[in-house]
Amino acid sequence: MRPQIVLFGDSITQQSFSSGGWGAALTDTYARKADIVLRGYGGYTSRLALFLLPYLFPLLEIAKRSPYISFKPVKLDTSKIVYSLEALHQAFKLKKPEQMVYFIQGSKKPPAATTVFFGANDAALAGRTSERQHVPVEEYKDNLRRIVQHLKECSSTMLVVLITPPPVDEEGRMQYAKSVYGEKAMEQPERTNEMSGVYASLCVELARELGLPSINLWAKMQETEGWQKKFLSDGLHLTAEGNAVVYREVERVLTETWLPASELPYDFPHHSQIDWKNPEKSFQQQQCSSI
């Protein structure tokens, strides 16, 4: 089974599979080697992301039920598998296994890696037009911590990469609002670059505290002159060039850790390695090597 790399975030992640998007570029890089799974939710904040965790990254659940004993995994449906009580009794050292039923939501392995890319909406200013999205800075950091803790409970070996919000072009936000709402457009930007920088610093700080890799997109983009129009399409979301920056940074982190695309094997043989007179043999060998 190919490893999964989940992209978890807001609209900047949701749009990453569009033409020229950073998620699409990762999919191309990891073609036939890893599955890039898009989990982007436009308008979401780190606060809302917490509600998604049990659905997107389910954990082992234990519940009291009437006795159920099976010596082999029994597939109930696409979301639950009941495992041998005796085996789980040994694994969890429970005193009364006959009183419990165990099930795991989702039969697939947890992701090998997950990017966590929230903060652009959290940084919306209180008292401005996007006030409903505002998340106080300390809560934002705590939410990220809780997300990471959940992911590590899902899999202790999962690579978690924190990505800061991008910088904000306040003039670009105003121009975009006027183009959409005309005279009813906001008179002040709902986000500022300075405040986005505060959220970015907390994201990097948390990554350092937890020993995780991070990408300081807020700082990285501002290293380039004219970043406002070069990387941002509406003062916040990304242009093709902006997506390229994110792609390069994510690909760099994955390569520097333990998921370089160049070293991952193909899921099935390259066509040049198939015995075309006896193709079944090639796939039998593949099946044996994957066991």
Which residues are known to be catalytic?
A: 11
Which DSSP state fits 74? E
Q: Is the dihedral of CA 254, 11, 121, 177 positive or negative?
A: positive
Tokens (6 digits) for 78: 């696409």
Angle at 119 between CA 206 and CA 21, to 5 degrees: 110
User: Buried b / exposed e across 154-181, counting CB within 10 Å, b at 16+?
Assistant: bbeebbbbbbbbbbbbbebbbebbeeee
Choose among 117, 122, 267, 266: nearest CA to 191: 122
Whole-number Å distance between alpha carbons of 126 and 112: 37
Cβ within 8 Å of residue 103, ≥6 positions away: 61, 63, 76, 80, 81, 82, 83
Whole-number Å distance between alpha carbons of 120 and 45: 8
Q: Are 140 and 46 in contact (CB under 8 A)?
A: yes
Q: Is the dihedral of CA 211, 216, 247, 4 positive or negative?
A: positive
Angle at 247 between CA 255 and CA 189, to 5 degrees: 140
Whole-number Å distance between alpha carbons of 24 and 17: 5
Choose among 125, 129, 113: nearest CA to 163: 113
